[in-house]
């Protein structure tokens, strides 16, 4: 903490004009190299007169959407019942204005011809879907409460469980994804991913009553289909087994690559399930650390059996030179 009096002027030293000129020319070769890189490598925005979507704007949109989905839970001040309609209206208008701007920018990327503007229709159907999203989130919160003995109330889950934030953003992003909005849905779920450690692609189809306990490290791929009342633990991957390539060696887009998980399935920590043809049958349990690339029928119990696990008495052992003393 500074102990200078409040009225002492700043001692920041400003370089004189001559020094600034020297510094300016010092950077000439670096600037020239960057300009050459823009020409050769690409990644330059202004040449196509495009305005790219903004990650900062997407963050603001996601925060406002959470406030709309869970009014009063993400606010610094309490919302009174007699002001709820006005507050909701203002928030929805703000989200639609910002989201419309971002979706328009995303639509323009790669657009070669003029045509009908799809954005108004996308936004209208998106707004219409929000009450349904809230209904699904209610089942997710209930699943978390019933599935976690440490949960004391629904309010605690909304306020503190990272899975609810990740699932909420994925569910609204999924609406935009299904409506054909490019890029923005992925930006939204990656915003949630960066905050929660839970990576759910906006294309994944997820049923009601979905719960991710702890959450860190969970990965759910684009073409994954998850049924109702599914519970995942941290570190679970629902991923692709391999990628089909065309004659030129390029990955073929749009194929089914990720597994289906049917109703009432529990998958324990650090299990990996891969492949677009893999189906986990209803009412199955997948134990921890399982690596699975084929389907299992309904009511299956899949566990990894270790080849050898030794439990010794440390006091009665005579340590060997190659024994390891683990410190984590």
Q: What does the pLDDT look like over 213-256, one tens digit per residue?
A: 999 999 999 999 999 999 999 999 999 998 888 888 888 888 99
Which residues, 6 or more positions from 8, have their beta carbon under 8 angstroms from its beta carbon?
none
Give the residue, 11 or 293, on which the prediction is more confident. 293
Residue 50, classified by CB atoms within 10 Å of its CB into exposed (0-12), middle (13-18) or buried (19+), is middle
Nearest residue to 211 via CA among 174, 236, 241: 236
CB neighbourhood size of 324 (10 A) = 5
Nearest residue to 144 via CA among 131, 156, 129: 156
Residue 286, classified by CB atoms within 10 Å of its CB into exposed (0-12), middle (13-18) or buried (19+), is buried
User: Residue 279: pLDDT above 70?
Assistant: yes
Buried b (16+ CB within 10 A) or exposed e, 257-281: bbbbbbbbbbbbbbbbbbbbebbbb
- CA-based angle 149:207:288, to the nearest 5? 50
The pLDDT score that the predictor gives to residue 110 is 67
Percent of the chain with pLDDT over 70: 85
Q: Give pLDDT tens digits for 145-184.
A: 999 999 999 999 999 999 999 999 999 999 999 999 999 9
Distance in angstroms (rounded) separating the CA atoms of residues 200 and 185: 11
Instruction: Name the pLDDT band for 326 (thresholds 50, 70, 90).
Output: very low
pTM of the model: 0.83
CA–CA distances in Å: residue 69 to residues 4, 63, 127, 156, 256: 47, 10, 12, 16, 31
Q: Report the Cα 55 to chain-centroid distance in Å.
A: 13
- Count of H-run helices and E-run strands, the chain: 8, 14
Q: Give pLDDT tens digits for 33-59.
A: 877 887 777 665 544 545 889 999 999
Q: What is the mean pLDDT of the chain?
A: 88
Distance in angstroms (rounded) separating the CA atoms of residues 136 and 134: 5
Residue 27, CB-side half-sphere exposure with 13 Å CA sphere: 8
Residue listed under structure tokens 């002027």 = 9
Distance in angstroms (rounded) separating the CA atoms of residues 213 and 167: 12
Give the residue, 302 or 52, on which the prediction is more confident. 302
**Which domains does the chain show, CATH number per domain?**
52-107+119-197 (1.10.3130.10), 217-306 (2.160.10.10)
Which residues, 6 or more positions from 63, have their beta carbon under 8 angstroms from its beta carbon?
74
């Amino acid at each position: 903490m500074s102990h200078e009096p409040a009225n002492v002027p700043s001692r920041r030293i400003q370089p004189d004009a001559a020094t600034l000129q020297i510094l300016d020319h010092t950077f000439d070769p670096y600037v020239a190299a960057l300009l050459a890189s823009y020409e050769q490598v690409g990644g330059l925005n202004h040449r196509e007169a495009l305005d790219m979507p903004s990650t900062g704007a997407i963050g603001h949109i996601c925060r406002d959407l959470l406030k709309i989905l869970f009014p009063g839970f993400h606010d610094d001040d309490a919302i009174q019942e007699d002001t709820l309609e006005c507050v909701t209206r203002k928030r929805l208008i703000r989200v639609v204005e910002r989201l419309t701007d971002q979706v328009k920018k995303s639509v323009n990327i790669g657009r070669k011809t003029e045509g009908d503007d799809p954005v108004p229709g996308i936004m209208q159907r998106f707004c219409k879907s929000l009450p349904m999203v809230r209904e699904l989130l209610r089942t997710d919160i209930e699943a978390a409460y019933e599935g976690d003995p440490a949960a004391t109330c629904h309010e605690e889950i909304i306020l503190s469980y990272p899975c609810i934030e990740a699932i909420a953003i994925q569910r609204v992003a999924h609406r935009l994804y299904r409506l054909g909005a490019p890029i923005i849905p992925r930006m939204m779920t990656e915003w949630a991913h960066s905050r929660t450690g839970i990576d759910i692609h906006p294309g994944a189809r997820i049923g009601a009553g979905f719960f991710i306990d702890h959450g860190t490290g969970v990965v759910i791929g684009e073409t994954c289909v998850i049924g109702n009342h599914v519970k995942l633990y941290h570190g679970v991957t629902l991923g692709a087994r391999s990628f089909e390539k065309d004659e030129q060696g390029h990955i073929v887009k749009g194929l089914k690559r990720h597994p289906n998980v049917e109703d009432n399935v529990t998958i324990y920590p650090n299990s990996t399930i891969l492949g677009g043809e893999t189906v986990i049958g209803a009412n199955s349990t997948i134990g921890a650390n399982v690596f699975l690339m084929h389907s299992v029928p309904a009511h299956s119990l899949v566990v990894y059996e270790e080849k050898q696990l030794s439990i010794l008495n440390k006091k009665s052992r005579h340590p060997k030179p190659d024994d390891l003393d683990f410190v984590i």
